[in-house]
């Protein structure tokens, strides 16, 4: 069977699946191994905010994310077609409240930056809060930022769709098996911890996040960003809110009073959710590289192996382009990975 597998991906989170999918799309025979199954870690969460960085102080990370967000609509449509599963993707945009006139002035300047940096493919503009009607966060200034680049998907459904697409392309997803061919380590936060221990220094860790799902119908509405919270309407009549960022934790999958606070803050920032019932509480740990950028490239420990990890908060947004770049490297030896994304940036 060794000859029947070209690429083995260790880990069935969003980065592992995106690499497997990109390789399978190019005709490679792909095996994914994850003892816990598809999207069992943070990729099986609730929020799904595919939000861009602010259009200023442009760098490789922001440019990479922009390109990936632009790729996303076609990427997830193709995944849906191949898998027969809806990932819940919609480029719905985002609203953000502006607290005062200084913030309004800064937001307008950023809008001018976006005209060039976003290449006419999306807008960042300042609008009166009244233009958003009842679906608007409370804004002391009376103004909001509305960007048209932000999108949403349902992480759990998107992971399942991507896994099914890999299988539809002839790939296999196993709970256990032999890693043969070219091996890509996409092992999430536990992999970051193990790598740090092996190198004797911190190169990455896990950051716990807690989120909640509320029953509220706003399927096509833009998502909101207020009080450092993402408020994301999904197509199934729910709204996800989150999340915390906890560097220290004892129980990775347990929710607590920190999530209660998130829910209270979300209701305060957006009163229309005041009576929306909470139907699910979720906690998970996201992998964060020391550089805060994804860690993509040659594995720092294993010869002729690769790593795709560290998609902290932006994994789903980065996934379409990260998968393509890793397929370039793994299958063709073409290395176009930005310097800041290489493992060396965190070593």
Residue 322: predicted pLDDT = 98
Residue 3: predicted pLDDT = 54
Q: Domains (ranges, CATH) in the chain?
A: 2-89+150-199+291-346 (3.50.50.60), 94-148 (no CATH), 204-289 (3.30.9.10)
Residue 106: predicted pLDDT = 98
| pLDDT tens-digit readout, 123-152 | 999 999 999 999 999 999 999 999 999 999
Residue 227: predicted pLDDT = 87
| pLDDT tens-digit readout, 156-210 | 999 999 999 999 999 999 999 999 999 999 999 999 999 999 999 999 999 999 9
pTM for this model (two decimals): 0.96
CA distances from 227 to 55, 214, 239 (A): 20, 18, 16
Contacts of 4 (CB under 8 A, 6+ apart): 29
Can you read off the two tokens belonging to residue 110? 């950023």
- Shortest CA distance to 290 belongs to which of 344, 346, 245, 342? 346
- Shortest CA distance to 52 belongs to which of 158, 145, 128? 145
pLDDT lower than 50: segments of the chain: 1-2
């Amino acid at each position: 069977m060794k000859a029947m597998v070209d690429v083995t991906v260790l880990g069935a989170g969003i980065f592992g699946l995106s690499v497997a999918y990109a390789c399978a799309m190019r005709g490679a025979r792909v095996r994914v191994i994850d003892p816990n199954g598809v999207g069992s870690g943070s990729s099986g969460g609730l929020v799904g905010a595919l939000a861009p960085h602010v259009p200023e102080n442009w760098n490789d990370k922001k440019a990479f994310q922009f390109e990936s967000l632009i790729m996303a609509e076609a990427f997830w449509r193709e995944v849906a077609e191949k898998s027969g599963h809806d990932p819940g993707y919609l480029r719905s945009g985002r609203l953000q409240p502006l607290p005062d006139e200084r913030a309004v002035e800064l937001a307008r300047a950023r809008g001018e930056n976006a005209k060039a940096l976003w290449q006419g493919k999306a807008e960042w503009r300042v609008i009166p809060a009244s233009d958003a009607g009842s679906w608007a966060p409370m804004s002391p200034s009376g103004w909001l930022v509305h960007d048209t680049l932000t999108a949403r998907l349902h992480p759990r459904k998107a992971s399942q769709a991507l896994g099914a697409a890999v299988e539809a392309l002839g790939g296999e997803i196993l709970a256990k098996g032999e890693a043969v061919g070219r091996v890509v380590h996409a092992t999430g936060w536990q992999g970051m911890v193990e790598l740090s221990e092996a190198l004797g220094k911190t190169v990455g860790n896990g950051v716990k996040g807690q989120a909640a799902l509320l029953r509220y119908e706003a399927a096509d509405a833009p998502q909101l960003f207020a009080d450092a919270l993402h408020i994301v309407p999904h197509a199934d009549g729910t709204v996800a809110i989150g999340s915390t960022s906890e560097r220290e934790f004892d129980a990775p999958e347990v929710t607590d009073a920190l999530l209660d606070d998130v829910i209270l803050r979300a209701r305060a920032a957006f009163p229309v959710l005041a009576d929306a019932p909470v139907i699910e509480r979720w906690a998970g740990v996201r992998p964060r590289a020391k550089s805060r950028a994804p860690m993509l490239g040659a594995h720092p420990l294993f010869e002729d192996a690769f790593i795709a990890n560290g998609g902290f908060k932006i994994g789903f947004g980065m996934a379409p382009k990260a998968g393509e770049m890793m397929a370039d490297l793994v299958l063709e030896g073409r290395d176009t990975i930005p310097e800041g994304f290489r493992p060396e940036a965190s070593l």
